[in-house]
Structure 1
C-alpha cells in the first residue's frame, strides 16, 4: 500500500515538474515576440543586475500556474484550505508580476503585499507563528498582538530574501528546492504525511523552472516567482510548527537560513552607511562571490561563466544549514546554537572576503 502511494506521489511530482518546465519554455519563446515579457529595457543597467542580456523575468507565472494545478492532487480533507491559501498567495503574485512586466512597484509596496497576503491567511485560518523557540517568550506568542507582528516580519523577510538572490543563475531555485525537501523530511520525522506531499510538490514545481534557469539563465523567477516561493515556504514552515509541537522553530529557520541571513545583513549594512534599507546595491554575498571569481580567477569579461559558477561555489553553504535543520528537527537548543554558528560564519566570511578580494585586485590586477 505504501509503495502504491509513493508511486502515485512520484507521478504527481513528475507531472508538476513537467508543467512548470513546459510553462517556462512557452514564456521564453513568447519573450522573443513580446519584449514586455522581458521587463523594463534598463534592467541590465540596474545596480543589482547580475546578467548581461535581456532575459524573461516572469518564471513565476509558470510556477504559480503549476502550483494552482497542484490543487488537483491534494487530499480532499484540505482542498478547501489549500485553495484559500493559493488565493491569498495570488495577491502577492500579482503585485510581483506587475513589477516584472515593467510597471514600477516600490519595494515597500511589495513588502506591504506580503504582509497583506499573510493577514489574509491569518484571517482565513485563525493561525500565526506559534512559537520562536525562546523560553517564556513563547508563552506570549498565542496572543495576536505578539504573534501576528512576528509572523508578518518573518514572512516578509523570507519572501524578500528569495528575491534578493534571484539574479544568480540557479541560486534562488536551489535554495527553494533544498528548503522544500528539508521541510518535507522534517514533516516525515514528525509524522505529518500531508505536509510531506505539499512540500515535495513545491520542490517539483521549482525544479521544472530550475532546469531552464541553471546554468544558462534562460529565465528568472522575477519578483512574482521569488516572493511567491518565499511566502509559501515560510507558511509551510509555520504549518509544520502548528501541527507538531515537537518541531523546533530554530530548525525550521535553518531550512530558510540563507535568504534570511542575506536580508538581515543587507539591512545591517545599509543602516551602517545611513542608506535606505530598501535601496538596491551590489554588496550581497552572492554578488561579492561572483566578483571575486571574476577578479581572482576568470577575468571581468567572463560573467556568463562566473554567474552559474557562483551558485556551485555557494551551494554547500546554502545546503549545509538545511541538512543541520533536518538532523536537529526536535532539538531546540542545539538548533539555536547552530543558527548562531552559521550566522557567525556568514558575517565573518563576508567581512574577511571583501578586503581579501580588494587586496588581490590591488596586488595582481591593478
Structure 2
C-alpha cells in the first residue's frame, strides 16, 4: 500500500509534488515500524504508538498544517493556541491510524472503510473546491480497490500492520488538510468519514480502561469479531471460518459506508453533522450493548 502511495507521486500536480514527498517521508516512519512488526520483529505497542506520534509531529513540522477548528463553538477559541491544536491533531491522527489497524480483522473490512473514507473526502474536497485533494483521495481509493480485488473474499494478501496503520494515517491527514485549507468544511463531517474505526477504537479503549489493560492492543470483542463468531455459532456452524470471515464484511459494509457518505452530504453543515455523529454513536454503542443479551437468547446451530 505504501508502494502505491510512492508510485502516485508521478501523478501529483507539480505545485504539490514537493509537499506530497515530504508527507510520504513522514509517513514512512510509521510504515517501517509496522512493516517490522509484520516481519516478526515483535515491535511493542508502545513503540508503534511512538512511531505514529513521531510521524504526526513530522508532518506538522514539515508542512506546517494542523487542526485549527474542532467544530465545538466553546472550544474553538482554545484552538487558536498552537499547542492545543497540535496536541489534538496528534491525538486524532494517531487514533485514526490505530483505529484502522484494530478493525483489520476480517477480509476486506478495513479496506472497505478506507475506500468509503477516501471517496467521501474526495466528494467533500470537490464541493469545497480543493481540486488537488480530490486527486489525492481518488488515487488512494483506486489503490485500495486494487488491493480489495486480491484480498476479498479469500484473503490472498493482507494489509498487515504496515498497510492498516498507513491507510489510517494518510486518510486522517487528508481530512486535516481539508479543514486547514477550507474553513467552510465541518470537522464533524470529516469525523463521519472515519466514523467506524473511531467508534470501534473508542469502544476498545473503554474496555481496556475498564479492565486495566493496554489501550491499543486488539482483543476478541470488536464488532467484526462478534459478528463473525455469531455467524459460526448460530448460522454456519463451527469450522466455517473461511465463509464467515468474508460474510462478516458483507454484513457490516452498509454500516461502515453510511457515515462517510453522510459526511460528504453534510460537508458544510456543522450543526447537522454534529447531531448525526451523536446519532450514529448512540446507534453504534446501543447495538453493541444489545448484542450480548440477544445472542444469549438465540438457539445455537447444531453441528
TM-score, with normalisation over the residues of structure 1? 0.81
Matched pairs, number: 303
Aligned partner of residue 141 in structure 1, secondary structure: helix
1:91–1:117 CA contact under 8 A, matched in 2:
yes
Deviation, structure 1 residue 113: 0.7
1:241–1:247 CA contact under 8 A, matched in 2:
yes
Aligned partner of residue 298 in structure 2, secondary structure: helix
Separation in 1, partners of 2:266, 2:172? 18
Deviation, structure 1 residue 69: 1.1
2:237–2:302 CA contact under 8 A, matched in 1:
no
2:22–2:63 CA contact under 8 A, matched in 1:
no
The alignment status of 1:151 with 2:57, answered yes or no, reads no
Q: Output one character per residue of 1:215-259: Cα deviation in whole Å (capped at 9) or x when no partner.
A: 111111001000001000000000011111100000000000000
Deviation, structure 1 residue 359: 2.6
Which residue among 169, 188, 199 is the counterpart of 2:137?
Answer: 199
What value does the CA root-mean-square deviation take over the aligned residues?
Answer: 1.3
Deviation, structure 1 residue 358: 2.5
Which residue among 220, 225, 228 is the counterpart of 2:166?
Answer: 228
Aligned partner of residue 218 in structure 2, secondary structure: coil
2:102–2:218 CA contact under 8 A, matched in 1:
no
2:53–2:90 CA contact under 8 A, matched in 1:
yes
Q: Output one character per residue of 1:327-356: Cα deviation in whole Å (capped at 9) or x when no partner.
A: 100000110010000110110001111222
Deviation, structure 1 residue 273: 2.3
Aligned to 1:36: none
Deviation, structure 1 residue 300: 1.1
Gaps of 5+ in 1: 1-62
1:288–1:354 CA contact under 8 A, matched in 2:
no
The alignment status of 1:340 with 2:278, answered yes or no, reads yes
Aligned to 2:181: 243
1:295–1:357 CA contact under 8 A, matched in 2:
no
Matches for 1:1-366 after TM superposition, within 5 Å: 63-360=1-298
Aligned partner of residue 71 in structure 1, secondary structure: helix
Separation in 1, partners of 2:63, 2:29? 17
Q: Output one character per residue of 1:267-298: Cα deviation in whole Å (capped at 9) or x when no partner.
A: 11122223332343100011001111111110
Deviation, structure 1 residue 205: 1.0
In structure 2, the CA distance between the partners of 1:364 and 1:95, relative to structure 1 (3 Å rule), is closer
Q: Output one character per residue of 1:139-173: Cα deviation in whole Å (capped at 9) or x when no partner.
A: 22132220111011101110011101112000000
Separation in 1, partners of 2:91, 2:12? 29
Aligned to 1:20: none
Separation in 2, partners of 1:218, 1:114? 27
2:266–2:272 CA contact under 8 A, matched in 1:
yes
Gaps of 5+ in 2: none
Deviation, structure 1 residue 365: 5.6
TM-score, with normalisation over the residues of structure 2? 0.97
